[in-house]
Amino acid sequence: MKALGERIVFEDNHVLVVNKLCSELVQGDKTGDICLLDSLKAFIKERDGKPGNVFLGLVHRLDRPSSGLVVYAKTSKALSRLTSSFRERNATKEYLVITEKQRAGSVGLDPAGRLTDFLLKNGKTNTSRVVQGPPGKEAVLDYQLVEELQTFLVWKVHLQTGRHHQIRVQFAARGYPVRGDLKYGARRSIPGGGIGLHAWKLCLPHPTQDTQLILEANPRESQQDDLWSKISLFEH
């Protein structure tokens, strides 16, 4: 795996975007484990020789076992504007997902389409499940099958909503658990940890300039799973 500084995909005076590793926390939680936010602050402080505290704010979240693009703001103005962009869905996110093939007895997915469900979160177990309606929250994603491997499928996913564990739950509910995702029914874990879910592409308005940031992160640089090397999408 690349060092932290080598995983920075974009950085200027306002924005920092990094390719998160599987198992990295985007910010601190009750586990007390070292998080990416604190690691980046320490990296910037040392690299730039800053005498005081480094300001860095998390703009959006990414599940701990997944990998890919995470956006941090380097100023309070940028944090406010970037957070608004995500909240108002002016930021477009595309994920790559490796799932197991269809489970027997489940309803198969078309090669492309839209999934719409209501998801209800259980805070005690940190899981979500599909329910028939409110108090569940509507979850919508668009998907496209991009490759079929021997025992797995590779999908592109555009999130239309940002619900808790949304991609993982919606695919698993249809008999396609995400590779390595034991929490939602995968048959086995992945050597080295993590799950087959990667935040691949991101397009969002720059917080202080009249431009769009169009960014991409290679999963081979943030996941230890050798299966990514067999996906022809990344062959050049």
pLDDT band at 235 (very low <50, low <70, confident <90, very high): low
Instruction: Provide the whole-model pTM.
Output: 0.94
Question: Dihedral, CA atoms, 216, 218, 222, 228, nearest 10 degrees?
Answer: 140
Quick one: pLDDT at residue 107?
A: 81
Residues 6+ apart with CB under 8 A from 91: 60, 85, 202, 203, 204, 205
Give the chain's mean pLDDT.
Answer: 93
pLDDT tens for residues 58-88?
Answer: 999 999 999 999 999 999 999 999 999 999 9
Could you report the per-residue pLDDT of 101-114, keeping only the tens digit for each? 998 778 889 999 99
Separation of alpha carbons 212 and 207, rounded Å: 9
By CB atoms closer than 10 A (0-12, 13-18, 19+), residue 123 is exposed
Q: Are 199 and 215 in contact (CB under 8 A)?
A: no
Name the band, by pLDDT with cuts 50, 70 and 90, for residue 236.
low
Provide the phi-psi class of 7: left if phi over 0, else alpha when psi is between -120 and 50, else beta: alpha
Query: Which two structure tokens, joined as six digits, stand for 31?
Result: 């586990």
pLDDT confidence tier of residue 177, bands split at 50, 70 and 90: very high
Q: Which CATH superfamily hosts domain 4-226?
A: Pseudouridine synthase (3.30.2350.10)
Q: What is the pLDDT at residue 28?
A: 79
Residue given tokens 């005690």 in the structure block: 124
For 41, the enclosing helix (H) or strand (E) is helix 36-48
Q: Is 220 exposed, middle or buried (0-12, 13-18, 19+ CB in 10 A)?
A: middle
Q: How far is CA 85 from CA 57, 67, 73, in A?
A: 15, 21, 12
